[in-house]
Amino acid sequence: MQKIGVFVCWCGSNIAATVDVKAVAEAAKQQPNVVYATDYQYMCSESGQTLIIDAIKEYGLTGVVICSCSPRMHETTFRKAVQKAGLNPYMLEIANIREQCSWIHKDIKEGTEKAIILMTAAVAKVQLNKPLIAGESAVTKRCLVIGGGIAGIQTALDVADAGFEVDIVEKKPTIGGKMAQLDKTFPTLDCAACILTPKMVDAAAHDKITLYTYSEVEAVKGFVGNFTVTIRKKARYVKENLCTGCGICTEKCPMKKQPNEFNMGLDKRGAIYIPFAQAVPKVPVIDPDACIKLKTGKCGICSKFCQVQAIDYTQKDELIEKKYGAIVVATGFNLIKLDKFGELSYGLCPDVVTSLEYERLMNAAGPTKGHLLRPSDGKEPKTIVFVQCVGSRGNSCKEKSYCSKVCCMYTAKHAMLTKDHYPDTDIYVFYIDVRTPGKNFDEFYRRAVEQYGVNYIKGQVGKVYEENGKVMVQGSDLLSNEQVLIPADMVVLATAIEPDESARKLGTMLTASMDTNDFFTEAHAKLRPVESPTAGIFLSGMAQGPKDIPETVSQAGAAAAKVIGLLAKDKLLGNPCVAHSDEMLCNGCSTCANVCPYGAIEYQNKEFRIPGGVETRRIAVVNEAVCQGCGACTVTCPSGAMDLKGFTNRQIMAEVDAICK
């Protein structure tokens, strides 16, 4: 027989303003086996916890019900408290009378009535609770970082510096990501390459870091501390261990007609290429869709010129399987496609470019060697129009609903850098709002307006079209209530940011939750911002949401700290609320194994004694280390053999009965 204590929390006025907490405590005393009930202002505070501990000892409680906030908030806190008093932590139940009651009701009578029902249900459940012991599992002390941009590089360096092995998987032939494509970085205008490339070299040279470039994650199995990941190392057709990076193959390749991805397609590259001069590793890759040798068997020029015989046309994709304790998602972003924005003439008029293309046009290592020349005729533009919020902040089907966060700042940067190099350029920026929160950010933007004389126009652009060699821009000047028409030479679109297209597939593989925009969601928006709700998965950089470089680097460091905290442990306590199959009821039908998202159910043939002999039956066995306790198997099991510890069918029915009474 249980001796149950009920503790009702006021949560200041959060609960007490809508729920008569004393009435709930009084009602609790009427419940079977409840020997003690009380209320207190802040149950989670130290004195609140002491109150619980003292009551357990004084009344010899065997079960505890706490009527408070969501178990997501303080279940761990209260489990630790009851454990201190010598009780099994799973002899605790929480009735959520805040999020699911006081916060959503206004009427105190209704709120109190519901709180009492929720309390009754929790008491009914705890009557059937049994002590549970969590199992332990070992931690593989190696971290996988998916994505080798600034976010991934920074996380990897920080984790490796703490002494743990890190592998970076990057799908492009080089690490560096989008930051390598940028010209200067706001607000201090350091050259992006100058601050990034040393970090790329550090990552490659670090004895704890292994780079898997031109590689993708193919499959993920396992759970926190024990992930097994299959990495597909795509055929490069160049032996990394032999290649010296001299680049002669890239010069001699006759197929120089491929759009150069690194320069946003603004110039051409060969079929064998090194993405950019500072690439890490500086090993070329053959584009199999362009290479004549791979397509027709003829050519082979690169191989003839290679002095170290590093070219290998027979190379095949390689599958590597490795074990990791933690996985960091740093898959980054892309600009959205602009094919639904016909009015802006992107793709129709070559002088209408995206902001990332403009970065390349400004960059000394870009297609124009840093001379700002417009793509159509190679002339210097005299009038440039920048358009903000292209595809951001909308709610129709073609726009993203969020603010892309970095565009206001990089547009001010573009405008100032252009004015620095070409002072007689006229620059117009169409903006809806200028958003520059951040250290020294607003000062940076004001400099563009006040010192550089950049014309900021409050309004959006409605139409862009070519006329007599000019790019005509028709827009609103809302502060003058006028429609303006600017004959420009170039138009730069601050295009919305979206997560990389690989994110969705990866999210499914990792069972890591994502929002409707395919950004990875954090475990708690404020208190756990770099962890995925899936244990052992951490988030770094734009994969989690739009952010600038300083913020990305801070977040990358924070993710690394969380990874280090996990890898520093030798053992992890598991969740004892896992599924269990009653072998006397199981008929081996495999239905549970088919619905299990974690592959936690296996089958065994077991001998059972029956009257007059022995029979062998096929039964389900749950791997408790792999099971995450989702309960899918328990509801699908036709014979009722599968049950979830801590949430047994009997416990759930007892709760339902209590509510329906």
Interacting residues with another protein (CB under 8 A):
343, 389, 393-396, 399, 432, 458-463, 474-476, 478, 481, 483
The least CB distance from residue 518 to another protein, in Å, is 20
- The C-alpha atoms of residue 635 and residue 658 are separated, in whole angstroms, by 21
Closer to another protein by CB, 314 or 516: give it.
516
Contacts of 61 (CB under 8 A, 6+ apart): 3, 4, 5, 35, 36, 55, 87
Residue 345 CB, shortest distance to another protein, in Å, is: 13
Q: Taking the complex as a whole, how short is the minimal distance between the CB of residue 459 and another protein, in angstroms?
A: 4
What is the C-alpha to C-alpha distance for residues 337 and 399, in angstroms, rounded to an integer? 10
Nearest to 305 by CA among 284, 290, 287: 284
Residue 85: half-sphere exposure toward Cβ, Cα within 13 Å: 26
Q: Using the minimum distance from each CB to another protein, give the nearer residue, 478 or 584.
A: 478
Rounded (10°) angle between helices 549-567 and 150-161: 40
Decide whether 392 or 532 has the Cβ nearer to another protein.
392
Whichever of 350 and 394 has its CB closer to another protein, that residue is 394
Among candidate residues 260, 170, 274, the one with its CA nearest the CA of residue 212: 170
To another protein, the closest distance from the beta carbon of 458 in angstroms equals 7
Nearest to 46 by CA among 11, 90, 10, 77: 77
Residue 479 CB, nearest distance to another protein (Å)? 10
The Cβ of residue 9 has, within 10 Å, a number of other Cβ atoms equal to 29
Nearer to another protein, 285 or 389 (CB): 389
Q: How far is the CB of 414 from another protein (least distance, A)?
A: 20
Could you tell me the smallest distance in angstroms from the CB atom of residue 487 to another protein?
Answer: 16
- Of 342 and 453, which has the nearer Cβ to another protein? 342
Closest CB to another protein among residues 381, 459: 459
Q: Is residue 10 within 8 Å of 42, Cβ to Cβ?
A: yes
Task: Give the nearer residue to another protein in terms of CB position, either 389 or 539.
Answer: 389
> Shortest distance, CB of residue 383 to another protein, whole angstroms?
18
Residue 614 CA to residue 607 CA, distance in Å, equals: 6
Nearer Cβ to another protein (202/399): 399
CB of 472 to another protein, least distance (A): 12
Nearer Cβ to another protein (367/459): 459
Minimal distance, residue 463 CB to another protein, in Å: 6
**Cis omega (within 30 of 0) for bond into 71:** no
Q: Which is nearer to another protein, 343 or 515 (CB)?
A: 343
Q: Which two tokens stand for residue 650?
A: 């009997």
Considering the complex, what minimum distance in angstroms separates the CB of residue 396 from another protein? Answer: 5
Phi, psi of 609 (to 5 degrees): -80, 130
Separation of alpha carbons 199 and 150, rounded Å: 8
Give the C-alpha separation, 511 to 506, whole Å: 8
Closest to another protein by CB, 308 vs 478, is: 478
Comparison of 354 and 634: residue with beta carbon closer to another protein: 354
Amino acid code (one letter) for 594? N
Which of 13/480 has CB closer to another protein?
480
Which residue spans within 196-248 are E strands per DSSP?
Answer: 209-212, 215-223, 226-233
Q: Which residues contact 7 (CB under 8 A, 6 or more apart)?
A: 37, 38, 39, 40, 43, 48, 51, 52, 55, 64, 65, 66, 67, 68
Give CA separation, 613 vs 582, 588, 604, 610, 616, in Å. 21, 20, 20, 5, 10
CA distance 6 to 262: 64
CB atoms within 10 A of CB 257: 10
CB of 438 to another protein, least distance (A): 21
**Phi and psi at residue 647, to the nearest 5°:** -140, 50
Peptide bond into 487 cis (omega under 30): no
CB contact at 8 A, 253 and 270: yes
- Smallest gap, in angstroms, from Cβ of residue 481 to another protein? 7
How many angstroms separate the CA atoms of 87 and 66, rounded? 14
- CB 482 to another protein: min, Å: 9
Q: What are phi and psi of 295, to 5 degrees?
A: -85, -40
